[in-house]
Structure 1
Amino acid sequence: MGGLINVVTLGITGGLGAGKSTACQRLKERGAIIFDADSVAKEILLTVPEVQEQISDVFGINIKNNTNLHLGKLANIAFSNEENQTALNNIIHPRVIEAFEKKRAEIKDQDGLLVIDAPLIFESGLDSHLDHTVLIYSTYKIRIARAIRRGNLSREQILKRIELQMPEEEKRELASIVIENNGTVERLYEEIDKLYNELIG
């Protein structure tokens, strides 16, 4: 649609290895502004004393010092079970949403597309802040293979994280748009370009 008055907001989500970051990179190449929820969450953990105190109280980890080591420990604890993951999300998600709304306010009069790249759009309630939500969907087998190829997580860690995520079929029901990503990167780019053109014109 042409002649935009305000920025359009779009959430891109997908399970581990689905290809959401690749989709967001393509949208960035087309001119979209990308809000990386994971990067913002990490920055909050590293820079907000109140959050650091909450992390210390709940998980017993002091992330003010020896930061990378303790962030790794926090991730291991948070992804060990659903209770810990929920506790961490309850601390971080409200601040990520606040940061997103601040970004939206900064560019609200611009024409274009503001995309939030976030694995937990529906779980965090971010979807209620967006014009559209997109699920990048891949089969379980393909997602595991892609995640293993990255080499930064063991197979056991990958399976545990997938287990703790909302099932993809539930996300399919919640997303306003579903893009299948079981083929080549070029095919995904075609679908993303089509989406961009439909939203921006």
Structure 2
Amino acid sequence: MEIKIAGMAVVIGLALSGCAAKDHYYSNGVCVTCINNPITGEPLNYDPNETPQQVATNAQGESVDVNALGPQRGSVDVESSLDVDTAYARIKPAFGFRAEGDFEQGNTMSKWQMGDAAWRHTVTPGSFYDLGDYGTQTLGGTQYSILQRVQIQKNGSGSRIHYSWAPADDRLPYDGNAMESALTQRLNATLN
């Protein structure tokens, strides 16, 4: 018992003294050597203004505090001269949305994927489409998984598109402003 207590004291002592020099170790962007008081939550061995608990890579490849990345969720509204059915026909494959017929019938995995809250495929041809699915977007050479939704509705002879996204994996934060820009450009390119 005394050996275990002494061992714990050595580990805690090394963690506290080794980190006091701002040399912290990160795994998947999370500081694994930053220690907070378990009761108050206050930092014990780091200054949160100098050593962030989470770091990430921005679009330029620089390491930054995860809070400097901008919003991780967003949406964009686009008006298009394309009719609602043509807009749907372009957006669905370009962003990887799946219809019921895109799943293998009778397959258990397909049933699970269709039962996932991310998947949605509601269509009213000629007037409205409501789609949801997982997707990907590459920023700075890294591919990020996102949860995406799109509503395409008739707007006169054209269409109005509302596209929204959120990270599918919160452990891998991305540059929110760069994500918005990349997705907006991709949506506009798809509709032109």
Band the TM-score falls in, shorter-chain normalisation:
under 0.3
Normalized per residue, the structure richer in strand is: 2
Normalised to the residue count of structure 2, the TM-score between the two structures is 0.23
Structure with bigger gyration radius? 2
Instruction: Looking at secondary structure, tell me which structure has more helix per residue.
Output: 1
